[in-house]
Each structure stands twice: as C-alpha cells, then as structure tokens.
Structure 1
C-alpha cells in the first residue's frame, strides 16, 4: 500500500504538491499526517524520511522523498506520463518552470509562507518578494500563451507544473497579492479543482497553529 507522509495541511506547501497530483489523478494512497514543529514530528520523522522532512512516499518498500521526485515517480509509475504535456516543447518548458519553482523564489517562501487560513491584512513584503511575484506571474502568462490552449491550466490540462505552483496560489490569495487577469483566471482554475477544495477544507478544519506563520505583521 502507498502511504504519503505529509505535514499540516494549513502550512505544508511541499506536502500539498504531490498530494494534489495523486488525488487529482485518483491514485489511491493512505495519508499520514505529522504535525510540524512538534516533539512527535521530530521523534517519528527520522524513521520515515531519509532527509527528515515531509513529504515522503512509501510505496511497497520503496521510499521516495522530495515533492518533485514524488511527482516524477508517480508520473512514471501510475500516470502513464500524463503529469507532463505530451508535446516535447511544452514539456520542456513545463519542466523548466517546475524546476524554477522547486529551487527558487526564496524571498516569496520566507516572507509569504503558505497559510491556507490567512486573510489579507496590512502585512507587506519587500522588493525581493515583489520581484518573485512578478516573475511567477510572467511565467504563468508565458506558459498559458504558448501552451495553454487545451484547458485552464499552465499547459492546458492539469499536471505536475500546476501542482508545483498550487501553494503559490494560496500565498497570493492569503496575502492579498495583486494579480493580473491571467493570474486571477489561473488561480480560479486551481481553486476549482475538487482535490484542491478537499485539501483546503481539511486545512481550515485543523486546530494547530504555528505562531511564527500566523502572527506575521
């Protein structure tokens, strides 16, 4: 049986990515949630994840860690390649965007951490985060213009690149980031996914709080 170990749904952006991909494509798995920044997390994570982080996938004795690696494994093992666009040019650019999201945007990550319950307020970020926000919207706009004719997602149909950017949608909404029309439409498409709505409902039902994230001013 496949088990995906994740963190709190309200806060764990890395956990959301493979969870959303697996759920959207109806790959059956058990979910094991470890509460972030708790003694129980630190006690258990070393037995579950080689890098002591979530998410991590356990699949019939195989351990796969890191969000993008789990998505790639699922794509090869369970999705028959549907996680990436069929067109080689679209696939190359989708992979480039996913890799940029995976390794970049440090200011956005630090200053606008994912918090699904957050509502916009007076909190503001600096120019480095603004540059990340602008770059992400440029990426979305370029992918939609070049490869998005087949549907509402970055390359038409939902895939790994969208799973990688789904937590950014929550960041933009929760912090009141100004979005252009294309970004608004894309955010609406992500939020309309049944799997995403399921995650969001569970996030709102959680009672745990991370003060460093909740109390940003």
Structure 2
C-alpha cells in the first residue's frame, strides 16, 4: 500500500489517514507531497492524484485507490478486522460512527479559524462564539463517550480506535491555540499526545523544511 499525504505540520486530514494505516497493522509506504509548493498544481494533476480530485490523503492499495480519511478508515477496517477501528458493542459502535461522521462534516468555524499547525503554541487568544460553540460540542461528545463507554481504557471508547483517529487533529489544535478545557478533556488530550503514533507524527512535523506562511499567523492568532 502507498499513502500520499501532505505536510505533517499542517495537514489534519493526512494525519487521520496516516493514523488509520498505522492502526491497521499493515505495511505501507508514505509519500509526502508539500502542500501549495512550487510544483503543487502540477503534482495534483498527476496520475497518483487524479482519482481524488487533487486532495490528500490518498491510499493506493494495488489497483484500488481510496481517498478521504473516513473512507480510508473503513477500507482498512474491511481489510483487517472491524474491531481494530470500531467498538464491539453495538450501541458504542453507533455512537463512535456518529462522532466520526460529525467530525468529518462539522466544526467549520474551529477548523477555519484554527488551522492545524503542530509547530506552534499560542497563548492568550480570544475566540468568537462560533469557535467556542464548536469546542463546547466536541468536549460534550468526548464527555459522553468517556462516561458511557470509556471504562476499558483511556481513549474515547476505552481502546484506541477510529473515533480517536478522527479527533486527534482536534487535540493538536486545542494544544496549539491554548484552549482551556475541563480536567477529563485535558487528560484525554494528553493520552492522545503521548500515544506513540501521535508522537512520531509530531516529531516528523518538527523536522519538515516547508513553511506555509499564511498558516503561520492564522485568523484566530491575529485577533
């Protein structure tokens, strides 16, 4: 398998695809394509990118191409065992799927105003009501998952799975932008940050030579 991703410092969706590949336990090659670099437009039109419409991440599995992080998760779950990604309990699995889907389609204010940048830590920022509402909803979802289904371990549904993969970049954003969170959410964030795969991703991001200037001073940081 070959996974095409963007810069690890900035590409939240690439992080999800990469974590999914790690969770699968399957061997894969990763190919980093710097976002918005000099060759970006040319690369997006290449054969490797064509099926996805020029977006990352893209998973090539033989002749099969899968793009979009949530689709990659499901593809890998089908290839391995669904219990690697989703809770065994039916009720927990329904909630985990709903949380993953909500992350996939929602929280636009937070995602727009607080883009992922793993190499930055801001302090003393103020946030608009729409960003605060997104953060509050995420914390509410985390609280429900932990309270109802988290007794088996420190992750959202006890053991590490698709929901944690989908929310890992949110953990990075909360850290970067200095969000003040309740104790249980801070503990969960630290669990994700301490996870070996998150640590590997963050360390690799630190070593990247590429800088996207417009993401170094995002909208929220200018307020």
Question: What's the counterpart of residue 30 of structure 2?
Answer: 31
Q: Deviations over 1:124-149 (max 9, x none)?
A: 32110000000000000000001111
Question: What's the counterpart of residue 40 of structure 2?
Answer: 41
Question: What's the counterpart of residue 75 of structure 1?
Answer: 77
- Greater than 6 Å deviation, 4+ residue runs: none
CA contact 1:68–1:102 (8 Å) conserved in 2: yes
Deviation of the 1:118 alpha carbon:
0.7
Q: Distance in 2 between matches of 1:193 and 1:45?
A: 32
CA contact 2:24–2:84 (8 Å) conserved in 1: no
Deviation of the 1:22 alpha carbon:
1.7
Q: Distance in 2 between matches of 1:141 and 1:27?
A: 31
Question: What's the counterpart of residue 104 of structure 2?
Answer: 102
Which secondary structure does the structure 1 equivalent of 2:83 belong to?
Answer: coil
Q: Under a length normalisation based on structure 2, what TM-score does the superposition of the two structures give? A: 0.93
Q: Distance in 2 between matches of 1:41 and 1:88?
A: 43
Unaligned runs of 5+ in 1: none
Deviation of the 1:212 alpha carbon:
1.3
Question: What's the counterpart of residue 3 of structure 1?
Answer: 2
CA contact 2:23–2:84 (8 Å) conserved in 1: no
CA contact 2:21–2:76 (8 Å) conserved in 1: yes
CA contact 1:9–1:15 (8 Å) conserved in 2: yes
Q: Under a length normalisation based on structure 1, what TM-score does the superposition of the two structures give? A: 0.96
Question: What's the counterpart of residue 120 of structure 1?
Answer: 122
Aligned length: 216
Q: Deviations over 1:147-206 (max 9, x none)?
A: 111111110110011100000000000000011111111111111111111000001111
Q: Distance in 1 between matches of 2:212 and 2:68?
A: 22
Is 1:143 aligned to 2:145, yes or no? Answer: yes
Q: Please, what is the CA RMSD of the aligned residues?
A: 1.2
Deviation of the 1:208 alpha carbon:
1.0
Q: Distance in 2 between matches of 1:102 and 1:80?
A: 19
CA contact 2:56–2:68 (8 Å) conserved in 1: yes
Higher mean C-alpha deviation, range 19-28 or range 84-93: 19-28
Question: What's the counterpart of residue 12 of structure 1?
Answer: 11
